[in-house]
A and B are shown apart, each in its own frame.
Chain A
């Protein structure tokens, strides 16, 4: 169990983490989601006592990290696959870690075996591919057979086989009753592995919810309509009290109505439709919407959170809508960076 309370980190003027409060429970995979620059790595470094919080507190089973007498048997962490001396062999890298915590040497062989690096145990880490470095980092995290595991963007840059392996590993670790805390900037990745979601944007907590709830609440369904008599259709829908969002390329979107109802309404007014299709917004879009709202809230503070959903940025054809745009910095600024 990891408890984070009012955690705040300021780098000069930059608020990297802002008043975060959440708990990571054992026995499940908790996903830590946020666009690049949201403050995930900073939060994890503070959890491990590497960065000093500006304010707030982190407790591991009720204790501060630097009070732990046997840290590696409590927490295993993979922050950065490159966090090792390239000139040291895989075996010696793990051996010096094991010795620092009084873990028997035999355990080094065990974890090398678990991650499949036994054959290259005597090889220097600098010759390793990204995937092998990642495996060595995970071996280090597993050394103390810890009850809590923390991974920062573990699948970044891995090939599909490596990604598959890490997903299964995380699930099996959680199934053994361990606390697994894993960060990602990809909703699709979290949807596959996480049971619980902690979403942050701009250092703030945006959601702390079970994966199932998040999917239920956020998979917005809408109807997409195209018509050559667009003005007339807009008029008709408006008079029927149906809210329409105009998107690029003359396409209209309607929330909360069945396609049947809209089709019949169009037929009554003899309007020709070229498209009438039910759509499901992806979780990725839901996540983008969530983080975009955080930016909007941030830009003119005082506005109610999520008052009017901003237009969904997505892979729609045609030019972007000149509709209600989000002012100030865009969620995408952080997203594209790094």
Chain B
């Protein structure tokens, strides 16, 4: 591609103060705006929707949750829903789909470090905490809305296919399930902001999700580590989702797992804010 010729514009560009003597200061005709969080939110919204990788990861997420969900719904009988909510087919897609939200959460911030965009961003918005706040809010809302729509859609279709089979209230599972996976994404965003490296942060997050799900099998072999193994078994991410979708109907529908995730996420966010202000970009 040839470089466009800007010369013509160059000659037209100079404003009336073209003639002003050197030494005098320039004043712009553009009205000055005091920037606030609202500006950062609009900017981050433009950023997240203007790269294709966002659309891809969200598209794959929808495909997994809705696709697998409808497949499961089609393969099951009415009496499978005797004790469980209609949203249960969404659970299987979410186990895989949560990886998409983790990836997207990491990329929202680490791609800026990877490309060098972060310097441009922080030059335009030197209040770094405001940028991180905007990223967290925009990502959370996007992830929550998309996952709630996906789970809700699966629940709606399933209830249509297997009408009257279940009397479990399923509205709550939509909100809790969406909250759980979006918080995982928010945690990934905070980890991405601390590690500043896409592959590293995604690996760390996958470890956080998968290791506690696999490790208990080994820990159970040792008597002394059995209690640790039990806790891991109880609180790992796939099991938390299973509880939220009432597969294992004891112990209050995953509320304590949700509380743990909120706590971990809050701690990671706090760490991200502290490091953000301290470090060089």
Contact = CB atoms under 8 A, between A and B. Distances in A.
Real complex partners, A and B? yes
Interface of A: 1, 25-28, 45, 48-52, 65-66, 68-73, 75, 77, 79-80, 82-89, 92, 95-97, 99-104, 107, 113-120, 127-129, 131-132, 135, 140, 144-147, 159, 161-162, 165, 168-169, 172, 174-179, 195
24 contacts: A48-B123, A51-B281, A66-B126, A71-B123, A71-B126, A72-B124, A79-B123, A83-B115, A83-B119, A97-B43, A99-B39, A101-B33, A101-B39, A103-B33, A120-B1, A127-B1, A132-B4, A145-B28, A147-B26, A147-B27, A176-B26, A177-B20, A177-B24, A178-B26
Contact of B3 (A100, A147, A159): A159
Contact of A140 (B6, B20, B120, B122): B120
A177 B9 contact: no
Contacts of B18: 172, 175-176
A140 B24 CA distance: 24
A177 B26 contact: yes
A146 B127 contact: no
A69 B51 contact: no
B160 interface: no
B222 interface: no
A102 B35 contact: yes
Contacts of A179: 25
Contacts of A96: 43-44, 46-47, 50
Contact of A26 (B13, B26, B32, B43): B26
B10 interface: yes
B221 interface: no
A73 B124 CA distance: 9
A50 B280 contact: yes
Interface string B108-124: 00011001110111111
Contacts of A172: 10, 13-14, 18
B245 to A, nearest CB: 35
Contacts of B20: 175-177
Interface of B: 1, 3-7, 9-10, 13-15, 17-18, 20-30, 32-35, 39-40, 42-44, 46-47, 50-53, 111-112, 115-117, 119-127, 278-281
A180 B74 CA distance: 67
A51 B122 CA distance: 11
A70 B22 contact: no
Given A51-B281, A99-B43, A174 B10 contact: no
Contacts of A65: 126
A131 B3 CA distance: 7
A145 B29 contact: yes
Contacts of A70: 32-35
7 smallest A-B Cβ distances: which pairs? A116-B6, A102-B33, A100-B43, A27-B22, A145-B28, A92-B50, A83-B116
Contacts of A68: 126
Contact of A85 (B17, B111, B126): B111
Contacts of A88: 47, 50-51
